[in-house]
Amino acid sequence: MKIIKTIPEMKAAVGEHKSAGRTIGLVPTMGFLHEGHFSLVRAARKKADVTVVSIFVNPAQFGPKEDLKTYPRDLNRDSVMLEKEGVDYVFHPEAGEMYPHGYKTYVEVRDLQEKLCGRSRPEHFRGVCTVVLKLFQIVGPDIAFFGQKDAQQAIILRKMAQDLNLDVQVEIMPIVREADGLAMSSRNTYLSPEERAAALVLAKSLEAAKRQIDHGERRAGVILGGMKAMIGEEPLARIDYVEAVDMEDLDPVKKIVKGTLIALAVFIGPTRLIDNMIVSLER
Ligand code: PAF
């Protein structure tokens, strides 16, 4: 496994594989990897000839009061794990490599970027789209892998790829959870033991919603009301949003149907966590 820090080197490495007719799979990450990331890596290894994992804590997607400085980083730990997973390249640029002095170009997916997480993180998806488009330009993947845990991000990136006619297939892989149901996230490392226990309320509220839907309830108001009441009982939790939306336009729905996205963001103490489920209506 090779760790590459510069854009020309990365382009040259994938260029050789492309000339030899090999397909490239890209897993964009911000590092501090967990099983959720490894599920993406394994999918990339299955579907592409060459696997590239990018590790870059992207300053453009953090708000001024967010956790850019404290976001967990450990390249050595990540590299050891990625080597075991059989990854071919790690792309780990410095911020100045991606955004040199005088950098001015940003990508927006209007409308979708303002909803759900976009309301409390107004610049976030502009930063995500910008860095992911740059990574696509640098690595030139045939397939790129993202997790459903960041459902809005995945939907926005798919739309970006479609609108900009990018020759990349955007694959969205299922949420990976801890044994007790907590969705895996690098930000879980911020939680104290009490907060870790309280954080289970996100997954529990989704499980309760699923039970209601399985029993035939289709009114979004009733389901979301139940989720909010459950979260409201957890003293360490503060709701940012709990919504049921259409997967295409992310607009709120009144009636739950197959494919409705039920998504939530909740502060547990100071840490903002997200989780979601896509309604299957299959028993
Ligand atoms: O999901 C993430 O870790 C980041 O938003 C991504 C896609 C790597 C872009 O920085």
Q: Is 70 exceeded by the pLDDT of residue 185?
A: yes
Dump pLDDT digits (tens) for 252-270.
999 999 999 999 999 999 9
Residues 28 and 141 reside in one and the same domain: yes
* Alpha helices in the chain, H assignment, sequence order: 7-19, 35-47, 75-84, 95-98, 117-120, 124-139, 151-163, 193-198, 200-214, 220-232
Percent of the residues in the chain that have a pLDDT greater than 90, as a whole number? 99
Residue 42 covered by a domain: yes
**Where does a domain end: 123, 144, 173?**
173
Same domain, 169 and 58: yes
- How large is the average pLDDT for residues 15-34? 98
Q: What atom in ligand 1 is closest to the CA of residue 61?
A: 10
Q: Of 130, 146, 173, which residue sits at a domain end?
A: 173
The answer to whether residue 64 scores a pLDDT higher than 80 is yes
pLDDT of residue 281: 81
Atom of ligand 1 nearest to the CA of 58: 10
* Tens digit of each residue's pLDDT (9 = 90 or more) over 200-258: 999 999 999 999 999 999 999 999 999 999 999 999 999 999 999 999 999 999 999 99
C-alpha closest to that of 50 among 26, 77, 75: 26
Is-catalytic flag, 124? no
| Tokens read off for 41 | 């890596």
| Pair (54, 83) in one structural domain | yes
* Ligand 1 pocket test, candidate residues 129, 150, 157, 273, most atoms within 8 A of CB: 150
Picking from 146, 173, 200, the residue at the C-terminal end of a domain is 173
**CA of residue 10 to ligand 1 center, whole Å:** 19
181 falls within a domain:
no
Nearest to 220 by CA among 183, 251, 249: 251
> What is the extent of the structural domain holding 70?
2-173
Q: Which residues does ligand 1 sit against, CB inside 6 Å? A: 28-30, 58, 61, 128, 131-132, 150, 153
Q: What is the DSSP string of 2-17?
A: EEE-SHHHHHHHHHHH
Centroid of ligand 1 to alpha carbon of 18 (angstroms):
24
Tokens of 23: 């397909």
* Tens digit of each residue's pLDDT (9 = 90 or more) over 67-109: 999 999 999 999 999 999 999 999 999 999 999 999 999 999 9
- In 235-279, DSSP assigns E strands to 237-245, 261-268, 271-278
Is residue 52 situated within a structural domain?
A: yes
Name the band, by pLDDT with cuts 50, 70 and 90, for residue 283.
Answer: low
Predicted confidence at residue 220, as pLDDT, reads: 98
Chain CA centroid to CA 1, Å = 24
In a domain, 283, yes or no: no
Answer yes or no: do 136 and 13 share one domain. yes
User: Which residue has its alpha carbon closest to ligand 1 atom 3?
Assistant: 29
3-state secondary structure of 248: coil
Separation between Cα atoms, residue 113 and residue 132, nearest integer Å:
14
Whether residues 242 and 203 fall in one domain: yes
- Position 179 in a domain: no
Residues 23, 108, single domain; the answer is yes
Q: Based on the domain organization, do 70 and 22 belong to the same domain?
A: yes
Asked if residue 215 and residue 150 are part of one domain, the reply reads no
The predicted-structure confidence for 114-153, as pLDDT tens digits, reads as follows 999 999 999 999 999 999 999 999 999 999 999 999 999 9
Pocket test for ligand 1, best of 66, 131, 135 (most atoms within 8 A of CB): 131
The reply to whether 180 falls in a domain is no
> Does residue 270 sit within a domain?
yes
Nearest Cα to 112, choosing from 66, 79, 153? 153
8 Å CB contact between 281 and 213: yes
CA of 224 to the centre of ligand 1 (A): 28
Same domain, 97 and 212: no
Residue 124 lies in a domain: yes
| The model's pTM | 0.97
- Indicate if the pLDDT at residue 192 is higher than 80: yes
pLDDT of residue 282: 67
Average pLDDT, the chain: 98
Residue written as token pair 């979260």:
231
Of 29, 106, 272, which is best to mutate to test ligand 1, by the most ligand atoms within 8 angstroms of its C-beta?
29
Query: Do 169 and 143 fall within a single domain?
Result: yes
- 169 and 194, same structural domain? no
Measured distance CA(52)–CA(2) in Å, rounded? 10
Among 273, 160, 258, CA closest to 213: 258
**CATH code of the domain in which 245 resides:** 3.30.1300.10
CB 17 within 8 A of CB 49: yes
- Residue 29 CA, closest ligand 1 atom number: 8
pLDDT band at 17 (very low <50, low <70, confident <90, very high): very high
Supply the DSSP string of 117-130, one letter for each residue: HHHHSTTHHHHHHH
b vs e for 86-123, b when ≥16 Cβ sit within 10 Å of the residue's Cβ? ebbbbbbbeeebbbeeeeeeebebeebbebbbbeebeb
Identify whether residues 18 and 52 lie together within a single domain. Answer: yes
* Total number of domains in the chain: 2
Backbone phi and psi for residue 7, each to the nearest 5 degrees, phi listed first: -65, -45
Token pair 């453009």: residue: 60
Domain of residue 43, CATH code = 3.40.50.620
Count how many residues are written for the chain. 283
